[in-house]
Amino acid sequence: MAATRGMRLRTLLLLAFALLALLPLAVTVPLASRRIEETFARELAARADAAATLGSTELDRLRAEVEQSVSACAADPLTEAVALQLESGLPPAADAMRGVAEGRPLTVLTLRDASGVTRSSAFLPARVGDVEPGLSTVRTGEAPVLVPVEVQNAEGVQLRPALVAARPVEAARGTAILVGGQVLDEAWVSRLARLTAARVELQGPGLAPAAAGTAEGRTVRRALPLGPAELTLGVGSAAVDETRATLLKALVTAGALGLGLALIAGFLFARGITRPVEALTEGVRSVAGGALDTRVPATGSGEVRVLVDAFNRMAEDLGHATRALRAAEQAAAWEGVARSLAHELRNPLTPLQMSLETLLAARKARDGRFEALFVESAPAMLEEVERLRRTIDAFARFARLPAAQLEPLDLTAWTEQALGLAGARPGVALRWEPGPPLAVRADRDQLAQLLHNLLRNAEEAMPSGGQVTVRTRGDADRAVLEVEDTGPGIPADARARVLEPGVTTKASGTGLGLALGARIAQGHGGTLEVDTAPGGGALLRLRIPREAAAGVRLTP
C-alpha cells in the first residue's frame, strides 16, 4: 500500500512536470506553426510576384529588342532596294525579305504598301497580295504591340500572338512600311518558364495556347494582360510545403525532445522526493503495525530530512513509552488475572470445604447419617471440582495462547465454511450476510476459536432464543467480521472493560472469552470492538488488515 501511494505521488509529480512542459509547447507550437504558415505564404506570394516581375522584364527586353531589330531592318540597304523596286511599280520577290531577316532575332518580317497589302514576307510568303489583319493595324513609329498573326509550323497555319513594330522605309518615301517582331510561341514560353521557374501559360480568344513549366501543390498565379492575349505565371507550393513540413517536423521533434527531457528530469526529481517519503510512509506503517524499532534511513534534504529525523526520534520515544506501558499493562493484566483466578477458585472451594467438614464430623461422630450425607454431597462436590477444572483450563488457554501462524485466506469464504460446521442451539436462528471477497493473512485455528467464542457468547445472551447475524464487509484497508445478537446487549458501564481478563456480565462466566478474543485480534494486527446493535443487542466487531490478493491464491 505504501509503495502504491509512493507511486501515486511519483505519478502526480511526473504529470505536473509533463503539464509544465506541455503548456509552453501547447502555446508555442500552434503560434510557431501559424507564423511559419504566414511566412511561407508570404514567401510563395513573393515568388509569384518575382516571377511576374521577371515576366514583365522579359517582355520589356523583348520589346526593346524588336524595336531595335525592326529599325535596323528598315535602314538595311536590301530593304531599301526591295522598297524602291516596289515604288517603281515592279513587284518584288515574295520571299525577298528572307535575306533581311537572316541573322536577326525576328520571326515576323513583312513589307507592306501604304494600303496594308503585303508585298513581301519572310515568314509567310503565301500571304503576298493579301491584307494581314493583325499586321495591317500596327501603326508606324509606335512602340511594339502584341497582335495576333498567322504563322506556319508543323501543325499548319496557326493564329498566335506576336510582339511587332512598324517602321517606314525612308528610301521609298512612304510607299513601303516594314513590320517585324517576334512570335510568342511554345519556345518563347518554355524559355520564360525556365527563367522564372514557374508555370507559364499564354492564351487568348482564337489564339493557339502555349504552356510550359510545372507548379506542384498549391499554385499562386499572377496575370499579365497583353491586349489580345493573357500571360499567366503560376508558382507551386511544393518546395515551400516541403520546407514548411521539415520545419514543423523539426519543431515537433524539438518539442518532443523537450518533453522527454522534462519527463526524465521530473522522474529524477520525483524519485528524489518520493523515496524518502515512501520510506517514511513505510516506517509509519511499520510502527503502526507494532514494529517500534523501525527507523527510516536519513536520506533527503531540507524539510524532508527534518521530517525523517523527527520521525526517528518519535519512533524511539514511542518505543520506550510503549515498552514501559506494555510492561505496566501486562503487570496490571496478570494482577487482574490472578485476582480473577483467586476469585474463581475461592467460589467452589468454600462449598467443597463445608461439605468435607460435614462429612468428617459425621464420620468422627460415627453418625448413622454419614452414608446419606456422602451420597448427597458427592455430586455437588464433583460439580464444583469440574467447575474448578474448567476454570483452570480457561486460564491455561489464555496463558498459553501461541503466536499467530498467519497464512493468506479469503475471510468471507472462510467464515461461510466455518458457519457451515457450527450449529446453533434450538431456538436460535443463525443468519449469514456475506460481503465481498476479503484477502487477509490469519491463523485459521485462532480465528475459529474467536468465532466460536463470539457465537457462544451471543447464544448465551439469549436464553429464550433469538437471532445471531454474522456478516463480513470491507472497511478502507481493513476486513471486518461482525457478530450481532438480539439479546439485551452489554451495559454501557461494562462495555469499556468487558475485554479485560476476568470481567464478565454472566453469573457463571470466567471473563476470559472476550479477553482471549482481543488477544487473538491483536496477534493479527487488528482490534476487537464492542458495540450496541441497532436493535439493542450486542455487536462484536473484528477488524484485521486486508492484503493485496494479486498473484496470491487465497483458500477459504
Sheet of 156-168: strands edge to edge?
118-121, 108-113, 176-183, 156-168, 145-153
The Cα 84–Cα 173 span in angstroms is: 9
| Cβ–Cβ under 8 Å, residues 161 and 207 | yes
Q: Where are the beta strands (DSSP E) in 84-228?
A: 108-113, 118-121, 145-153, 156-168, 176-183, 199-203, 210-212, 219-226
C-alpha cell at 20: 509544465
Place of cell 506503517: 285
C-alpha cell at 343: 476469585
Q: Which residue type is seen at 160?
A: R
Place of cell 434450538: 426
pTM, 2 dp: 0.46
Other CB atoms closer than 10 Å to residue 310's CB: what's the count? 11
What DSSP element (H or E) covers 535? none
| Cβ–Cβ under 8 Å, residues 300 and 308 | yes
Of 134, 76, 143, 65, the C-alpha closest to 105 is 65
The Cα 255–Cα 259 span in angstroms is: 6
Place of cell 515537433: 252
Other CB atoms closer than 10 Å to residue 448's CB: what's the count? 15
Residues linked to residue 94 through DSSP beta bridges, in sequence order? none
List the pLDDT tens digit at each of the 556 positions of the chain. Answer: 444 544 566 677 667 766 766 676 667 767 777 777 788 788 888 888 998 999 999 999 999 999 999 989 888 888 888 888 777 777 776 677 788 888 888 888 888 888 888 888 887 776 777 888 888 888 888 889 998 988 877 777 888 899 999 998 887 776 788 899 999 989 899 999 999 889 999 998 888 899 998 888 888 899 998 888 899 998 887 776 777 778 778 777 877 777 777 777 766 766 666 666 666 677 777 766 667 677 777 665 666 677 777 767 777 777 677 666 655 555 555 566 656 665 566 666 667 777 777 777 777 777 777 677 777 777 777 777 777 676 666 665 555 556 778 899 999 999 998 888 776 678 888 899 999 999 999 988 888 888 888 888 888 888 888 899 999 999 878 999 999 998 888 887 776 667 766 556 555 555 567 777 888 888 888 888 888 888 888 898 999 999 865 444 445 5
Question: Dihedral angle at the C-alpha atoms of 260, 266, 267, 271, nearest 10 degrees?
Answer: 170
Q: Which residue type is seen at 303?
A: E
CA 540 vs. chain centroid, Å, equals 46
The Cα 286–Cα 3 span in angstroms is: 13
Q: Which residue type is seen at 266?
A: G
| Cβ–Cβ under 8 Å, residues 227 and 39 | no
Of 355, 359, 349, 354, the C-alpha closest to 387 is 349
The Cα 352–Cα 2 span in angstroms is: 60
**Residue 203 φ then ψ, to 5°:** -155, 160
- Cβ burial, residue 555 (10 Å; 0-12/13-18/19+): exposed
CA 296 vs. chain centroid, Å, equals 34
